[in-house]
C-alpha cells in the first residue's frame, strides 16, 4: 500500500532522485530541507515513515531523531537514517538514537525502496500490502476483501482500515485516541466516541461469523483484537 513518507534531505539532486523513485513505487513524499521544516510538517500530520539525512543545516538529523523519539506523539514513527558516514561507530550512534535502519550514500533506488518496505512491514504493517489472517479471518489490502472463513464480509472503508490496524497489532490494547491517530489520522479532528460507532459497525458486520467476539472492549483503556480462537466460543 502507498505510504506517506517525509524526506528530510538538504541536497536538491539527491532529494529529486529519491522523490522520483519513491513516487514511482507508489508512495506520497513530503519534502523538507532542514529539521525545522520537518518538525512543522510532522506537527501538521504524522507521516508513515521518515527518511532523515544525518547532515542537515542547523539542527542535525541525529538531534532531530532524538527529539522525535523523546516525544510520545512521534516516538513510534518508523525512521531510516541516510548518511555518507559509513564508520561502524556512526552506524551504532544512528541506531542507538532510534533509527530503524541506516543506509549509507551512495545507495541504489531499489535498495532504498526495499529497505522502506522492510521497515514498514516490521514497524507499520497496516500500511503494507501483506495479507493478514487471524483465526480464519482473512484481510487482503490489495483486493480490499475480508473473508470470514468462506464468507465475504462487507465493510465500509473506515471499518476496513480499523480492522486492518487491529489485525496487524493483535493482543495490544489501543485507546480511542490512539485509534483515531492511526486509522483516521492525527490531523483529523473528530470526537473519540466516533471510534465506538465504527467498532459497533465492525462488530455488526462480523457477528454472523462470530468473529465479532475477537474484538474486545478493555474497560477504561480501549479496544483489543484477540488472536485467541477460543474467544469466539465465549
> Residues 119, 219: one domain?
no
> Residues 19, 119: one domain?
yes
> Residues 80, 154: one domain?
no
Q: Among candidates 169, 159, 161, which has minimal Cα distance to 76?
A: 169
Q: Contacts by 197-202 with C-beta closer than 8 Å and gap 24+? A: 198/158, 198/159, 198/162, 199/162, 199/223, 201/156, 201/159, 202/155, 202/159, 202/162, 202/163
> Residues 44, 119: one domain?
yes
pLDDT attached to residue 95? 72
Asked if the model's pLDDT at residue 215 lies above 90, the reply is yes
Domain boundary among the residues 127, 149, 167 is at 127
Its domain, for residue 199, covers 132-233
pLDDT attached to residue 84? 79
Confidence of residue 55 (pLDDT cuts 50, 70, 90): confident
Domain boundary among the residues 127, 159, 175 is at 127
> Residues 184, 213: one domain?
yes
pLDDT attached to residue 232? 66
Asked if the model's pLDDT at residue 187 lies above 70, the reply is no
pLDDT attached to residue 46? 85
Q: Average pLDDT, whole number, for the chain?
A: 88
> Residues 100, 138: one domain?
no
Residues 6+ apart with CB under 8 A from 174: 165, 166, 182, 222, 223, 224
Q: Of 93-107, 127-141, 146-160, 167-181, which gets the smallest average pLDDT? A: 93-107
C-alpha cell at 193: 466516541
> Residues 96, 141: one domain?
no
Element (H, E) at 15: helix 12-24
Confidence of residue 1 (pLDDT cuts 50, 70, 90): low
Mean pLDDT (whole number) for 26-36? 94
Number of domains comprising the chain = 2
Residues 65, 82 contacting (CB under 8 angstroms): no
> Residues 20, 120: one domain?
yes
Model confidence pLDDT, tens digit, residues 86-123 = 666 766 776 777 888 888 888 898 999 999 988 888 87
> Residues 146, 174: one domain?
yes
Asked if the model's pLDDT at residue 218 lies above 90, the reply is yes
Mean pLDDT (whole number) for 198-217? 95
Domain boundary among the residues 102, 127, 152 is at 127
Amino acid at each position: 500500500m502507498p505510504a506517506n513518507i517525509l524526506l528530510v534531505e538538504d541536497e536538491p539532486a539527491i532529494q529529486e532522485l529519491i522523490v522520483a523513485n519513491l513516487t514511482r513505487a507508489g508512495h506520497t513524499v513530503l519534502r523538507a530541507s532542514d529539521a525545522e521544516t520537518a518538525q512543522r510538517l510532522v506537527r501538521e500530520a504524522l507521516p508513515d515513515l521518515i527518511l532523515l539525512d544525518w547532515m542537515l543545516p542547523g539542527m542535525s538529523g541525529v538531534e532531530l531523531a532524538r527529539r522525535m523519539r523523546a516525544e510520545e506523539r512521534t516516538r513510534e514513527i518508523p525512521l531510516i537514517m541516510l548518511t555518507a558516514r559509513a564508520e561502524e561507530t556512526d552506524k551504532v550512534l544512528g541506531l542507538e538514537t532510534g533509527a530503524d535502519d541506516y543506509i549509507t550514500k551512495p545507495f541504489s533506488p531499489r535498495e532504498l525502496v526495499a529497505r522502506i518496505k522492510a521497515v514498514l512491514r516490521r514497524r507499520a504493517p497496516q500500511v503494507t500490502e501483506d495479507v493478514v489472517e487471524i483465526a480464519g479471518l482473512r484481510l487482503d489490502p490489495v483486493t480490499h476483501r475480508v473473508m470470514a472463513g468462506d464468507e465475504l464480509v462487507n465493510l465500509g472503508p473506515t471499518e476496513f482500515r480499523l480492522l486492518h490496524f487491529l489485525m496487524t497489532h493483535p493482543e495490544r490494547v489501543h485507546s480511542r485516541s490512539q485509534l483515531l491517530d492511526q486509522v483516521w489520522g492525527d490531523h483529523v479532528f473528530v470526537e473519540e466516541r466516533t471510534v465506538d460507532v465504527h467498532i459497533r459497525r465492525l462488530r455488526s458486520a462480523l457477528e454472523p461469523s462470530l468473529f465479532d467476539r475477537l474484538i474486545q472492549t478493555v474497560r477504561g483503556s480501549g479496544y483489543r483484537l484477540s488472536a485467541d480462537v477460543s474467544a469466539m466460543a465465549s
